[in-house]
Amino acid sequence: MIEQRLRVGLIGFGYAGKTFHAPLIRATPGLELAAVASSDAGKVRAALGADAVVFSRADELIAQADIDLVVVASPNATHVELATAALEAGKHVVVDKPFTADTAQAMQLAALASQRGRLLSVFHNRRWDSTTRTASKLLASGMLGEIRYAAMHYDRFRPQPVDRWKERAEAGGGLWMDLGPHLLDEALCYFGPPLAIQADIAAVRPGAGADDSFHARLRYADGLRVDLQASMLGALPRPRLLLQGTRGTYLKQGLDPQEAALKAGLLPAPADDAAWGIDAEDGIAMLGQEDEARRIAVPTENGAYPAYYRQLAEAIRGRAANPVPPEEAIAVMRLLDAGRASSERRCEVALASDEFPYTGRQS
C-alpha cells in the first residue's frame, strides 16, 4: 500500500521560501508542495511550473481542507499571526527563523500547538550545516579536550543599505534577528545554556535602517566563553568557527555550500545524500603542546538540509521526534531577548539555566 503524501502549503515566496523551503519540500519523499501563498504568482510559476497553485492571500491557503502542513516563510512580523491562524485551522506548522518577535509570543504559539494537538517546528536549518555537523562530531569525540573558548562568525559584504523589510527595524528586521538565531542555536546545541550574555548590537553603515553588526559573548559556569559575531561589512570573512580546547584547536573557514547550491537551482537527490552538501574545504586542527604539536586536516562532513524535512514528515506521522521542537526555539528567543536587553543597557544579562531544554555536547 502506497502511503499518501502530506500536502504542504507554503506561505511566502521571498528568499527563504524560494531558496530553502520550496526546493527542500519538493525533494522530500512523502511531501507534496500543493500550494503557495504569494503576491507574485508569476514568480512562483516561473520557479515551480505553470500549473503551480498560487493563492494571493495566506488565509485562502490556510482555509484549504486538504492542506496538512503550513510553512510560514513570510516576513518576521507576520509569523505569529499566520502560525496562529494555521494552528487554529488544524494544520501542522513550520515557522522559519526567527520563530517570533519575542519569547512571550513564542510561548503562546507553543501552548496553542499543544492545545490543538498539532506539530509545531522551527526551521533552524543551520544545525545541518557542514561545519556544524563536523563540530558536533569533534566535540563528541573529545579530540580537542574540554573547550575553553569558541568563536562563530557569519560575515557578509553589503556596504550599501537596501530598502527592504529585512533591513527595517519596524518590520522585525536587522542582523540580530536574521543571523543571531543561527549562531545562538548553534552555541546552545554545542554547549548548552550559558549563565549570562553580553551583547553589542549596532547599526554601523551610514543610512542603515536596522542593526547590521553584532558581537555577543556567552559566559558559562566552567569558564567557557563563546563569542558570536556577524557583520554586513565583512569583505574578508572571519573564520566560520574556532574551537580552543585543552588538547588542541580546530579552525574552519568558509560557509556551508548548500545555500549557494539551492540558490543556483540545484535539488538534493532523495536517494543520494553522499552527492549533496559536499564541503571540500577541510578544517584544521592543531593538537598537542608547543614543539610537539601536530597540524592535521579535518575532513568536513557533508551538509544535510534535506534531513530537516525528512524527519519532520516522519514526526507528523508519529514515527520520529520533531527535528526542532518549539521548546528549543523558545530557548533561542530567550537569548535574543536577553541580548537586546544587554545591548540597550550596556551590561551583562544573567540567564536562568532551568529555562533551557538544551544539554549541549559538552554538558
- pLDDT the model gives residue 359: 58
Task: Look at residue 14 and give its three-state secondary structure.
Answer: coil
DSSP for 251-301 reads: EE-S--SHHHHHHTT----TT-GGGSS-----EEEEESSGGG-EEEEEPPP
* Residue pair 199/342 in contact by the 8 Å Cβ criterion: yes
- Nearest Cα residue to 218 out of 185, 261, 249, 251: 185
- pLDDT the model gives residue 330: 97
* Residue pair 120/95 in contact by the 8 Å Cβ criterion: yes
- pLDDT the model gives residue 355: 67
As averages over each run of 10 residues, the pLDDT of the chain (363 residues) reads: 87 97 96 98 97 97 97 97 98 98 97 98 98 98 97 96 93 96 98 97 97 98 96 96 97 96 89 86 91 90 96 97 98 98 98 71 45
Give residue 223's identity as a one-letter amino acid code.
Answer: G
- Domains of the chain: which residue ranges? 6-123, 126-303+323-355
- pLDDT the model gives residue 269: 79
- pLDDT the model gives residue 3: 80
Pick the CATH number of 6-123 from 2.40.220.10, 3.40.50.720, 1.10.10.10, 3.40.190.10: 3.40.50.720
Alpha carbons 356 and 363: distance in angstroms, whole number: 13
Distances (CA, A) of 151 to 192, 227, 307: 15, 5, 26
Residue 249 phi/psi, 5-degree rounding, is -130, 145
* Residue pair 184/333 in contact by the 8 Å Cβ criterion: no
What is the value of pTM for the model shown?
A: 0.95
- pLDDT the model gives residue 363: 38
Supply 230's cell numbers.
556577524
Report, at the CATH architecture level, how domain 126-303+323-355 is classified: 2-Layer Sandwich (3.30)
CB burial class (10 A; 0-12, 13-18, 19+) of residue 327? middle
Return the number of other C-beta atoms located less than 10 Å from residue 138's C-beta: 24
Alpha carbons 204 and 176: distance in angstroms, whole number: 13
Alpha carbons 97 and 327: distance in angstroms, whole number: 14
